[in-house]
Amino acid sequence: MVDGEKKNRRGFLQVFLGGGILGYLGMILYPVVRFMIPPELPEAGVSSVLAAKVSEISPNQSKIFKFGRKPGILIRTPEGELKAYEAICTHLDCTVQYRSDMQIIWCACHNGQYDLNGLNIAGPPPRPLTPLEINIKGDDIYVSPTA
């Protein structure tokens, strides 16, 4: 066998094995990468949701309801006014709740506080809650995104 022919065979084998190893790594890593980067899902377009019955919420009470894929919060203030917000804290997305004892909207994760107008008043939340629009039809309270 000639020396040049040996080199050609060795080079071919190196390229063949290198390609096989790369292909094998690709087969393993591709599904892992696809799993770690989830596909973009379109936001569920919620136009209007039945949040509660009027008779269900007394003054100084609240109700958490499903607003598409997010939670919403409906509050009847001590004065009887209805307010609705996306119940997602603007700090790190925890679900907020109404504290009737303090008359604030409160985030238990890091003691974030919002007033009844949804404004961030204490703790780490950087911005107000997202308000929702309320429409009352008979005894039903419908909530929709603000225009």
**Sequence-ordered list of residues with C-beta below 8 angstroms from that of 65, at least 6 positions apart, any chain:** 49, 51, 52, 71, 72, 73, 74, 143
Binding mask 47-86 for ligand FES (x = CB under 6 A): ----------------------------------------
From the CB of 107, what's the least distance to ligand FES, in Å?
Answer: 3
Binding mask 95-124 for ligand FES (x = CB under 6 A): ------------x-xx-x----------xx
DSSP 110: T
**Amino acid at the residue 136:** I
Applying CB under 6 A, the span of 57-65, 70-78, 90-98, 137-145 interacting with ligand FES comes to 90-98
Helix%, strand%, coil% for the chain, nearest 5 = 25, 35, 40
